[in-house]
Structures are given as structure tokens and as C-alpha cells.
Amino acid sequence: MKKKSYKGLLLWIVVFTTVMFAISALPAYGSLLTRITLNYMFLMIFVLMLIIHFDDKIYWITGVEYEQAAKLTREQRKACSIKYVRVFGIAALVFLAVSVGFHLLDLPYYNDIFVSVVLVIYAAISTIKFKL
């Protein structure tokens, strides 16, 4: 296993935050801006899970210690991290479909906010059962 490092996570946080501020400067308004922001959030959570999976950084996930992860084989770590990729990837795709539908139906943005909160909570809770 690679040496313990959180540099990639720090970089992800900086990019995520910088782009979130940049999105707020877009010449969009209300519902569209909210939908862009929330879809970006889902995309970036999915990207973070991909980074964790491909860079073998399972210990970035809350509840997993570096020492615990280091005792496992690479295949065991990958088998666990791919579960997170699937859950958050599906959540991102579901939210994209819902937000596009809401936009086409001209529904207010608070529907998107409600769905995004429910999806994130559901995805997070569904990962509790994942064990190394």
C-alpha cells in the first residue's frame, strides 16, 4: 500500500470549493443555478469516490483507519471502494435525471434541494454496511 497521504484529498477540496465559487458567478439565476450547483456537487462526490478507488485511498473514507486498510490486499481494498463508487455514481445519475426532468417541467428549485438532500442521506446511510 502507498504511503499515507491526504494531499489528493486536499487538492480535491480546493478544486471543489474554487469551482463552487466560480459557479456562483455564472450569469444563471434561481432554479438553473441551483441545479448546476447541485449536479456539480454530485459529480464531485462521485469523482472523489473514483479517486479513492483508483488511487487506493480507502482510508480517506470515514471509519476506515490507514493501519486497518494497510493489512488488506489491494484486491480487498478495491472490492470495498468500488461499492462506494457504485452508490455515489448511481446517486449522481439519478439526481441528474431528476433535475433535468424538474427543469423541463419548470418546477421550483426547492424540489431539487429536497431530492438532493434525500439522495445524499440515503447514499451515505446505505454505505454504513460496507465493511473492509
| Residues 36, 2: Cα–Cα separation, whole Å | 35
User: What is the reported pLDDT for 63?
Assistant: 79
- Which segments of the chain have a pLDDT < 50? none
Nearest to 97, CA basis, from 27, 49, 19, 42: 42
pLDDT tens digits for range 27-63: 888 889 999 999 999 999 999 999 999 999 989 987 7
Distances (CA, A) of 49 to 81, 82, 92: 7, 8, 12
| Residues 19, 38: Cα–Cα separation, whole Å | 12
Collapsing DSSP states into helix, strand and coil, what is residue 89? helix
Nearest to 59, CA basis, from 4, 124, 120, 10: 4
